[in-house]
Amino acid sequence: MSTYILFFVLAFLLVFGVPIALCLGIASMAVLLFVDGAPPLNLLSRSVVTGVDSFPLVAVPLFILAGDLMQKGGLSKRIIGFTASLVGHIRASLTYINVLASMFFAAISGSAPATVAAIGSNLIPEMKKEGYPKDFSAALTASAGIIGVLIPPSIPFIIYGVTAEVSIGKLFLAGVVPGVFLGLIFMVLARVMSRKFLLNENKKESFSAQKVIYSFRESFWALLIPVIILGGIYGGIFTPTEAGAVAVLYSAICGLFIYKDIKIGDFKEILIKSSLTASTVLVLVVFSTAFGRIITIEQIPSQLAEIMLSLSDNPIVILLFVNALLLVVGMFMETISSIIILTPILLPVMVTLGVDPILFGVIMTVNLAIGFCTPPLGVNIFVASQISNTPIETISKRIIPFVISMLMVLMLVTFVPSFSLALPNLIN
């Protein structure tokens, strides 16, 4: 009975557009109030306090603030300049620059929409000048943006790590190979697709080692950030949470004193923007704790496991079913919300099948990241649409080949565990 009330209230509120955090809180309260034998109502208040009292969770607002400081401080512009010096002499170079710059910025922001906004605002206008159609440029930028949630530091990985109580450091490592591999596929695919657009492409300058050295010097402090963050985490110097604090301090120093693109007066705007983004995430986490406890008390994961195992005892079939479920959820729900709601439900099922919790974190994140590029939610498409002034429907058609390549990588992650786990196992 309580299971039906929990999910009926949740679905009812979602249909009417109630914010997801409130949906989770109200659905949890409905069970506590109206189901006989349910835990006392103060479980909700205790869960709220417990949910926010998490040291690893502090990394989320810190990395969000660091990303905003880096974007405002001109680091994305310098990263693009450095990648241009490396591949700017190659035909269709702007496609490579777009993906490479997204990969670099992914290691700074940890957010897919932030990556699209930072790289797209600089590169989409440049690609238009070179003769690339706006819808192609927007589709490539939106696709490359999902690398932002795979290459560490990744905010979805942090949320999954907190929710599933697994190592965030191992999750970061597990996302590196899929993220880099996806970037390489995007570059090859974009090069093939761009052949017919470049009949009138401007003649490229020859490669210049001097230009690379100069650009490297200009962007050195920006390129050093991933080295400091990841080197510090895996060198045992600081935890992922402490790495967020280091990233904030470092990016503020770079913006203020090295590149001087940030003024003291800009901090108010940056802090307000970061606070709004972080508060949205943290409120979700707070109310999801009570939701997760009720799910556990009602033994919903074990019930779901029994249902799935009754349908098939073949792990491949069940994994395909879970992937299909997550892909559909990703089309309609925001990534962090989906992770918070579905992890306590699906993870016990995956563990029963012998799936490593770290691997399932990557599987879930890749699935939901594809939702950034698929309507109707498609946050990356919306951002790219605004930057390029191109209809969402047009970008959605052009992005189909990129989505197919994402699905190929998803199958690799799902059915070749070493593809994701080799690096964390090696470091461990």
Give me the phi and psi of 57, to 5 degrees please: -65, -20
Q: Inter-axis angle of helices 155-164 and 357-370, to 10 degrees?
A: 140
Q: How many CB atoms lie within 10 A of CB 209?
A: 8
pLDDT score for 252: 92
What is the domain count for the chain? 1
What percentage of the chain's residues is helix, strand, coil (to nearest 5)?
80, 0, 20
Given a contact cutoff of 8 angstroms between Cβ atoms, the answer to whether 315 and 280 are in contact is no
Given a contact cutoff of 8 angstroms between Cβ atoms, the answer to whether 153 and 106 are in contact is no
pLDDT score for 200: 52
Tokens of 11: 């679905």
DSSP state letters, 344-408 = HHHHHHHHHTT--HHHHHHHHHHHHHHGGGSTTT-HHHHHHHHHHT--HHHHHHHTHHHHHHHHH
Q: What domain range includes position 176?
A: 2-427
pLDDT score for 52: 67
pLDDT score for 13: 87
Residue 274 CB partners (closer than 8 Å, separation 6+): 61, 64, 65, 68
The tens-digit pLDDT sequence of the chain (428 residues) is 677 888 888 888 888 878 877 888 888 888 888 777 667 777 777 777 776 677 777 888 888 888 788 878 888 788 888 888 888 888 778 899 999 888 888 777 777 887 888 788 888 988 888 888 999 999 999 999 999 889 888 889 999 998 899 999 899 999 999 999 999 999 999 988 887 766 455 556 678 888 889 999 988 998 888 888 888 887 888 888 888 899 899 999 999 999 899 999 999 999 998 888 788 777 777 777 777 777 777 777 677 777 777 877 788 888 999 999 899 888 877 788 789 888 988 998 898 888 999 999 999 999 999 988 988 778 889 889 988 889 988 999 999 999 999 999 999 999 999 999 999 988 76
Alpha helices by DSSP H, listed for 194-299, are 209-234, 240-253, 266-297
Residue 397 CB partners (closer than 8 Å, separation 6+): 135
Given a contact cutoff of 8 angstroms between Cβ atoms, the answer to whether 71 and 79 are in contact is no
pLDDT score for 357: 96
pLDDT score for 331: 82
DSSP state letters, 279-332 = HHHHHHHHHHHHHHHHHHHTTHHHHHHHHHHHH---HHHHHHHHHHHHHHHHHH
pLDDT score for 204: 61
pLDDT score for 249: 93
pLDDT score for 110: 72
The total number of residues written for the chain in this structure:
428
DSSP state of 258: I
pLDDT score for 143: 95
Alpha carbon distance 295, 298 (integer Å) = 5
Q: Which amino acid is at 124?
A: I
Alpha carbon distance 384, 387 (integer Å) = 5
